[in-house]
Amino acid sequence: MFETLEKAPPDAIFGLMEAYKKDSNPNKVDLTIGVYQDDTGTTPIFRTVKLAEARLLEEETDKSYLSIDGSPEYAAVVQELVFGAGHEITASGRAATAQTPGGTAALRVGAEFIKRIRPEARVWLSDPTWPNHPQVFGAAGLAIETYPYFDSAANAIAFDRMIAALKEIPAGDIVLLHGSCHNPTGADPTPEQWTQIANVIAERGLIPFIDFAYQGLGDGLREDAAGILTLCRPGSEMLIASSFSKNFGLYCERVGAMTVVTPSAKAAQAALSHAKKCIRANYSNPPSHGASIVISILSDPDLRVQWESEVQGMCNRINRTRRLFVKTLAAKGVTRDFSFIERQRGIFSYTGLTKEQAQELREKHSIYILDSGRMNVAGMNAGNIDAVCQAIADVL
């Protein structure tokens, strides 16, 4: 069975992160995987996470199984974080949330749930999108299509082409949208564009599936939820995959949630019962530690205020770094207009660098970005931004 087995190709993102770790150059810079780094180049554990963990250590009384869909307290805090306090969707009970191991499992549970209840539905992904999206939806057995999203000549959303394509999608198909901080481009719709997207979705009877992995890292926690809220109309249906890897720094704890929004509380419970079938056959029930931290922080008013300020601090640093990057490139004599980087949001930007330039950055300068030209802006800091900009000037 295994004698003649060939190696599978490395993952487009984790593969490069591993190559970076093996690079012996002391001046190497990792701008690959989507992990926030502070100005000293470290990925800190949030102060509020440490406080919540200390509390858990004291107070936790058992390590028994959670239920298949996880903790109800967790579902409540997740919904409040997504929709805001007192939203009609939560008040009416027409949403149901399952706790999942990370945002990836939220996407996979959502995908298998769709395959179970509407196997003929196709999933429409933005072109480009996170390289794992086609793998996740493909693994669930769903047919995948793409809609245009990015105009690389203008370094902005190809909005007219996007809307024209959405208008052609058959009713009942699934449209994957990035709630904020589009991965990989960093280009998000404006509030007016969100309204137009929501209009087409409602008119066409499409089901939005929102990947919401970066809430708070674009402009702020509530600001980044504005796009999703535009899609929330009376009777609207959608799925939302939340991740708390970035906005709680809980990457290795695998904390996420799959929320399904339906027209009624009864439909929400029916939907959840099917999602639970998918979960039980997959990982049975979710791990508890990371989600307990999230509950503990979001349900304690003091911790919550401190956490919100930690998230806003990350957000501000990312946007400062964007401005400094553009300024430093200009100071290095780069004449190409990179001002679009300042308009993009979240930790990623499409730099417009080619695959060859990305490889040259890696091979000559030990600066790692993805072959697509995607860079993790949050990997730059006062100690390395000069070298990164000098190297980019060199490869250009």
For ligand LMR, the nearest residue by Cβ is 34
Q: Give the amino acid at 192.
A: E
Which residue in the set 16, 29, 30, 34 belongs to the binding site for ligand LMR (CB under 6 A)? Answer: 34
Q: How far is the CB of 253 from ligand LMR (least distance, A)?
A: 14
Q: Give the amino acid at 344.
A: Q
- Residues in binding contact with ligand LMR, number by CB under 6 A: 6
Angle between helices 102-117 and 265-280 (to 10 degrees): 110
Q: How far is the CB of 245 from ligand LMR (least distance, A)?
A: 7
Q: Supply the DSSP string of 371-384, one letter for each residue.
A: TTSEEEGGG--TTT
Q: How far is the CB of 14 from ligand LMR (least distance, A)?
A: 7
Q: Which is nearer to ligand LMR, 113 or 130 (CB)?
A: 130
Here's the x/- map for ligand LMR, 118-157, by CB under 6 A: it reads as ------------x-x-------------------------
Catalytic one of 130, 188, 194, 224: 130
Instruction: Kindly state whether residue 33 participates in binding ligand LMR, applying the rule CB under 6 A.
Output: yes
Q: Which is nearer to ligand LMR, 95 or 109 (CB)?
A: 109
Q: Which is nearer to ligand LMR, 132 or 155 (CB)?
A: 132
Catalytic one of 69, 211, 224, 276: 211
Comparing CA positions, the residue from 260, 280, 282 lying closest to residue 269 is 260
Q: How far is the CB of 13 from ligand LMR (least distance, A)?
A: 4
Is residue 312 a contact partner of residue 335, using CB atoms and an 8 Å limit? no
User: 263-272 long-range CB contacts below 8 Å, 24 or more apart?
Assistant: 263/94, 263/235, 263/236, 263/237, 264/92, 264/94, 265/92, 265/93, 265/94, 267/94, 268/93, 268/94, 268/95, 268/96, 269/96, 271/96, 271/113, 271/117, 272/69, 272/96, 272/98
Q: Which is nearer to ligand LMR, 132 or 262 (CB)?
A: 132
Give the C-alpha separation, 302 to 310, whole Å.
13
Catalytic one of 30, 69, 173, 246: 246
Q: Which is nearer to ligand LMR, 262 or 344 (CB)?
A: 344
Q: Which is nearer to ligand LMR, 94 or 362 (CB)?
A: 362
130 is catalytic: yes
Q: Which is nearer to ligand LMR, 254 or 317 (CB)?
A: 254
Q: Which is nearer to ligand LMR, 42 or 269 (CB)?
A: 42
Give the C-alpha separation, 46 to 58, whole Å.
19
Residues 164-203 touching ligand LMR, rule: CB under 6 A, are 183
Q: How far is the CB of 247 from ligand LMR (least distance, A)?
A: 13
Task: Give 241's contacts (C-beta < 8 A, 6+ positions apart).
Answer: 100, 103, 106, 107, 110, 209, 210, 211, 212, 213, 256, 257, 258
At residue 123's C-alpha, the angle toward residues 209 and 212, to 5°, is 25
DSSP alpha helix (H) spans, the chain? 14-22, 47-59, 72-83, 88-92, 102-117, 132-139, 159-166, 191-204, 226-231, 265-280, 289-298, 301-331, 340-343, 355-365, 385-395
Q: How far is the CB of 36 from ligand LMR (least distance, A)?
A: 11
28 is catalytic: no
246 is catalytic: yes
DSSP alpha helix (H) spans, 301-365? 301-331, 340-343, 355-365
Q: How far is the CB of 349 from ligand LMR (least distance, A)?
A: 13
Q: How far is the CB of 297 from ligand LMR (least distance, A)?
A: 22
Here's the x/- map for ligand LMR, 46-85, by CB under 6 A: it reads as ----------------------------------------
In the block, tokens 């072959």 appear at: 371
Q: How many CB atoms lie within 10 A of CB 274?
A: 15
Q: Which residues are catalytic?
A: 130, 211, 246
Site residues (CB under 6 A) for ligand LMR?
Answer: 13, 33-34, 130, 132, 183
